[in-house]
Chains A and B, each alone.
Chain A
Amino acid sequence: MSNVSRRAFIKAFGLAAVAGTGLFGASAQAQRRAAAHVVILGGGIGGSTAAKYTRIMNPDVRITLIEQNAAYITCPRSNEVITGHFTLDDLTFDYETIKSRFDVDVIIDRVVGVDPDRREVRTQGGERVSYDRLVVSPGIDFRYEEIEGYTAEVAETRMPHAWKAGPQTLLLKRQLEALPQGGTVLIAPPQNPFRCPPGPYERSSLITEWLAQHNPRAKVLILDPKDRFTKDVPFKKGWERLYGYGTEHSRIEWISGSQGGRVLSVDPERMTVEAENGMHRADLVNIIPPQKAGKLAFDIGLVDQTGWCPVDRATFKSTQLDDIHVIGDSAVCDAMPKSGYSANSHAKLVAHVIRAELSGFDPVVPTWANTCYSLVGSDYGVSISDVFELRDGLIQKVPDSGAVSPVTDNPAQPLLESVYLKNWHRTFVKDVFS
């Protein structure tokens, strides 16, 4: 069926009639009309995985996904858009497969309110959607106010954060390409916790690699409020091997929190950055601000004084409001990093919890996993990989397991990790969006 005729068919007979020929047959479709309604807010990695796996685990429920954008751009691999290895199109995924293969109603609209007493979601377009279970995956927002002079407008014009893949990623790419010969790139990662803990260091690495080829006298300066960062041992070893880190000719420099790396203020007109160790001028400034839960989480009332959403760890149910699960970067999840893999793992647990509750099964024994690969160079990868369990009410690493890549003299290790990173992204986006 061509796109046009398929669209006409959907219009004439309704989405359900088309979807009913898919993974789950017409009889399940009929049963579902009276069945529980699971509504998912947010179509990022957490929300999309929740839609797919809620269907896999619960053939008979109704599922609706509400997302304000018609497509999602993955943050994973977006650092490679800055250096031209990828385009944003390569990283863009829509909701067509989730609709058709998993019989999910997808509403592209902005959520303007949730009434937890009536269990109803309202959208800007005027829809009222009632739910039995709500799954919210709101992502992150930024605490611009913690850096004097830095605002959303500055981020969109002079000093992009590019911490959600999209227009700012392309702005950063243009700024890198326009960097004067021998110029300085300044990258300022935030304090913990934040989305994608290795991301600032992968970005610094790939920009350093790009500059070595296109702008060999240029330098990268990282101003960090922290003394340690994730995978710092294998990252720094890679910087030594690839970029002369630790020597006077190093292309990359990292200033820790103890050395005064915390950024206090910026002046976008002068392109200066004031840190605890003094004033810096740069030709490209990438401020990655401190973070908090996504705006939707605040609007619904899911956030506590930490700026994040507390949940019962065994079920990812909000401790603020009943019948609402919070997953992904917004949720407080202890030892788990705020990563796409983590969000995917939260979503799968919630799909099992919903089945157990709706079907009267025993409570689910939780388990979670996270594996993050990062590039130190195009063919040099490092990783962190952990399995998590519930212990003393908190999400903790399973003892004596997991950890970051070992530093070895075997050149195959980082090469294979870079191959696995590429493998991972292709496979992961299928597990999330199709």
Chain B
Amino acid sequence: MTSRQYLGLSLVLAALALQPAAARDIASGELLGQNCAACHGTDGREFNEAMPPLAGMETEQFIRAMKDFREGRREGVVMDRIARAYSDAEIEAMAAWFASRPATQYGSEEHE
């Protein structure tokens, strides 16, 4: 085995080791996130209501907020109850999807 082949094999093994043992399949961040739209707006783009917009939110901020609700570090009206349903992986998937949405009011563009 050449050192180059050895390096390649090592990387493959390292990547395999990083995969969680029997990770439950999770829904896509997009479908998880779309289920938030009924309160937070289509794509999380509702900027004029009591429930905050999620579109364009920094991933770290979204993840911290959801974990704080989930672990009881942050009081919620309903979000504390809802956050307890989501795994770390699901929260991260939603965070990435919301971060990719434009931070503008839904429906405000003449031609979207």
Contact = CB atoms under 8 A, between A and B. Distances in A.
Nearest to A422: B50
Nearest to B34: A348
B107 interface: yes
Nearest to B84: A401
Interface stretch (A183-191, A263-271, A365-373): A365-373
Contact of A371 (B25, B30, B78, B112): B78
Given A22-B111, A369-B36, A419-B50, A427 B85 contact: no
Given A371-B78, A385-B82, A400-B84, A430 B35 contact: no
Interface of B: 25-28, 30-32, 34-42, 46, 49-51, 77-78, 81-86, 106-107, 111-112
Main secondary structure of the interface of B (DSSP, over half): loop
A25 B109 CA distance: 15
A345 B112 CA distance: 24
Question: Among B34, B40, B106, which residue has the most Cβ atoms of chain A within 10 A?
Answer: B34
Given A348-B35, A420-B50, A424-B39, A21 B111 contact: yes
Interface residues of A, number: 41
A427 B46 contact: yes
B37 A431 contact: yes
B38 A401 contact: no
A95 interface: no
A423 B82 contact: no
B86 A387 contact: yes
Nearest to A57: B30
Contacts of B112: 22-23, 101
Contact of B35 (A368, A400, A401, A413): A368
B82 A401 contact: yes
Interface string A415-429: 011011001101110
